[in-house]
Chains A and B, each alone.
Chain A
Amino acid sequence: MLRDITIGQYYPSDSILHQLDPRVKLMGTLVYVLSLFFFRGVSGFLAVTLGLAVLIRLSGVPVGYMVKGLKAIAVILILTGMFNLLLTPGEPLISFGAVKITEEGIKSAAFMVVRLTYLVLGSSVLTLTTTPNRLTDGLEKALRPLNRIGVPVHEISMIMSIALRFIPILVEETDKIMKAQLARGADFESGNLIKRAKSMVPLLVPLFVSAFRRANDLALAMEARCYNGGMGRTKMKPLKYERRDGAAYLLLALYFAGIIALRIWLKF
């Protein structure tokens, strides 16, 4: 189950999205996320859906592979949906005693679930089409101005790229520890919330211990390979804007303008 998480995994391919400059894609993701919280009504929804469909199509990543990533957030989706459905005030459509379902509730639940789903799908396009190294290169370069006010941009981007690289490894490890504890009779599934949280202790302690050990090993390995911070480093793949990046920026601007226009002029 834990292995199915596709967020943060890279999917090797040669698509146009893979070739775009990571700075464009970072900007694109930002614009996309903004548009998700900006759109209103069915027309906006259709526009965003179209945008996402085009994005997925261009990325060359199989849709099934991307949807698998949603499993990881299924619980959050269901919870958000339920809360919105049951707790939104308004004219009740159906009611069972204290539980009321309102029209507004259905609407906001539907939009919330769609927003979250699209958020995860859209942002996973970023990580699926960009290697963690390029992603952090992009971040590093985009945030470089912050260096002047003392933000350790290189270090932050290095930390991020390592975190991304270790997500699948730690997930696999969690799986392994879980099975090992299950084999010793641990019970992660039953009991109330507190009992369940307590039952996570035998899972988390070994996981943390091993994560620290890995961190130590990795630091040694990095030092052994002459890592000495960002000073004087060269790049195998330095970032350079190409014509397609300019075109992508233009398309992004158009997309965002379109979403805003829809919000202002089309009210349904």
Chain B
Amino acid sequence: MNFIEARKLVHEYIRRDEEGNVEGILAALDGVDLEVKAGEFVAILGHNGSGKSTLAKHLNVLLKASEGTLWVDGKDTLDNRYQWDIRKNAGMVFQNPDNQIIAGVVEEDVAFGPENIGVPTEEIWSRVEKSLKSVGMLKYREHSPNKLSGGQKQRVAIAGVMAMEPKCIVLDEPTAMLDPKGRREVLEAAGALNREKGITVILITHYMEEAVQADKVYVMDHGKIVMQGTPREIFSQVDRLKSYRLDVPQITLLAHELRREGLQIPEGILTKQELAEALCQLY
């Protein structure tokens, strides 16, 4: 079985007026099918309001589906008995770095998760050290999070999740509030966890460049998954992506425009290197 498997997942937000009558129903998720294998790096792309964050919250049982089923690590998310098991195995990093750091010292914040799941004291220490090291923040262990940069705070948040030793980590727009340097730091940390520790990474984002390193990309629009495939397959369909109000990476766009002008370049170019090589082949 896949690590994450969603079948016809529906989540409805019900808007009520002051008397509690239903005013309208918004389907944030509208029949989502999703399959993620253990150890994969998956990117979920979508414009604001496409339902991607709602989907992320389902993976951690912060929200429960109105209809359909979702299994995480072989456990049904609708079964209350598994709620804490699933949360432990599918950690989550949120958008705002300030609003997810609980303690006033980096190492104590990283320890928050393991403390909650009842890990013995000595093991908490070794886990904190290991996970801070894995995101390159070990030397800041005694600092106050308020004095760190956005990228550093997000890496601390990732370490906090890692200390619970999850099999999967869901990053819900972790870079939306960061500067380019912070974005790079966070993505590198997530990528390293995926490559070196075999952690399944699910990256929710609306920056196309961040999806390039993924094994698989899903594109969401209006609560539905509208495209899925490798980054190359997805980004070769520039016009279709634009119809979902998404931009392709600049290099891909350049290649696309050149191709439209009649140059013989393949679709779906993702990196500068590839474009350079494709251009050299022409002459």
What is the interface of chain A, defined by CB distance below 8 A to chain B?
A: 9-10, 12, 131-133, 161-162, 164-165, 168-169, 214, 217-218, 220-228, 232-238
For residue B88, which residue of chain A has the nearest CB? Answer: A226
Contact A236 B161 (CB under 8 A): no
Mark contacts of B144-167 with chain A using CB atoms, 8 A cut-off: 1 yes-contact digit, 0 otherwise: 101000000000000011001000
Contact B102 A165 (CB under 8 A): yes
Mark contacts of B88-124 with chain A using CB atoms, 8 A cut-off: 1 yes-contact digit, 0 otherwise: 1001101010111111110110011111111111001
- Among B108, B115, B116, B128, which residue has its beta carbon within 8 angstroms of that of A131? B108
Contact B121 A238 (CB under 8 A): yes
How far does the alpha carbon of A168 sit from the alpha carbon of B144 in the complex, in Å? Answer: 11
Contact A227 B99 (CB under 8 A): no
Contact B100 A133 (CB under 8 A): no
Provide the residues of chain A in CB contact with B117, threshold 8 Å: 226
State the Cβ distance, B186 to closest chain A Cβ, in Å: 16
Chain B, range 35-64, C-beta contacts under 8 Å to A? 57, 60, 62
Contact A237 B108 (CB under 8 A): yes
Contact B105 A221 (CB under 8 A): no
Provide the residues of chain B in CB contact with A233, threshold 8 Å: 115-116, 118
Q: Given A224-B62, A236-B121, A236-B128 in contact, is the A217-B94 Cβ separation under 8 Å?
A: yes
Name 12 interchain pairs, CB-CB below 8 A, sorted by A: A133-B104, A133-B105, A165-B104, A221-B94, A222-B102, A224-B94, A225-B102, A226-B84, A227-B112, A228-B116, A236-B108, A236-B121
For residue B170, which residue of chain A has the nearest CB? Answer: A224
Provide the residues of chain B in CB contact with A236, threshold 8 Å: 107-108, 111, 114-115, 121, 124-125, 128
Contact A225 B142 (CB under 8 A): no
Provide the residues of chain A in CB contact with B62, threshold 8 Å: 220, 223-224
Contact A214 B98 (CB under 8 A): yes
At the interface, yes or no: B143 with Cβ under 8 Å from chain A?
yes
Q: Given A12-B144, A133-B103 in contact, is the A226-B124 Cβ separation under 8 Å?
A: no
Provide the residues of chain B in CB contact with A133, threshold 8 Å: 103-105, 108
Provide the residues of chain A in CB contact with B144, threshold 8 Å: 9-10, 12
Contact B119 A225 (CB under 8 A): no
Closest 5 CB pairs of A and B: A221-B100, A217-B99, A236-B111, A225-B113, A224-B92
Provide the residues of chain B in CB contact with A131, threshold 8 Å: 103-105, 108
At the interface, yes or no: B222 with Cβ under 8 Å from chain A?
no
Provide the residues of chain A in CB contact with B92, threshold 8 Å: 221, 224
How far does the alpha carbon of A238 sit from the alpha carbon of B124 in the complex, in Å? Answer: 11
Q: How many residues of B contact A (CB 8 A)?
A: 41
Contact B60 A224 (CB under 8 A): yes
Contact A232 B121 (CB under 8 A): no
Provide the residues of chain B in CB contact with A238, threshold 8 Å: 121
How far does the alpha carbon of A217 sit from the alpha carbon of B101 in the complex, in Å? Answer: 10
For residue A218, which residue of chain B has the nearest CB? Answer: B99
How far does the alpha carbon of A224 sit from the alpha carbon of B58 in the complex, in Å? Answer: 11
Contact B115 A10 (CB under 8 A): no
How far does the alpha carbon of A132 sit from the alpha carbon of B101 in the complex, in Å? Answer: 13
Chain B, range 162-212, C-beta contacts under 8 Å to A? 164
At the interface, yes or no: B75 with Cβ under 8 Å from chain A?
no
- Among B87, B103, B104, B120, which residue has its beta carbon within 8 angstroms of that of A226? B87
- Among A12, A217, A227, A228, which residue has its beta carbon within 8 angstroms of that of B96? A217
How far does the alpha carbon of A236 sit from the alpha carbon of B141 in the complex, in Å? Answer: 13
State the Cβ distance, B109 to closest chain A Cβ, in Å: 9
Provide the residues of chain A in CB contact with B114, threshold 8 Å: 234, 236
Provide the residues of chain B in CB contact with A161, threshold 8 Å: 102-104
Contact B116 A227 (CB under 8 A): yes
Contact B91 A225 (CB under 8 A): yes
Provide the residues of chain B in CB contact with A162, threshold 8 Å: 102
Provide the residues of chain A in CB contact with B113, threshold 8 Å: 225-226
How far does the alpha carbon of A214 sit from the alpha carbon of B98 in the complex, in Å? Answer: 8
How far does the alpha carbon of A132 sit from the alpha carbon of B146 in the complex, in Å? Answer: 13
State the Cβ distance, A135 to closest chain B Cβ, in Å: 9
State the Cβ distance, B43 to closest chain A Cβ, in Å: 20
Provide the residues of chain A in CB contact with B100, threshold 8 Å: 217-218, 221
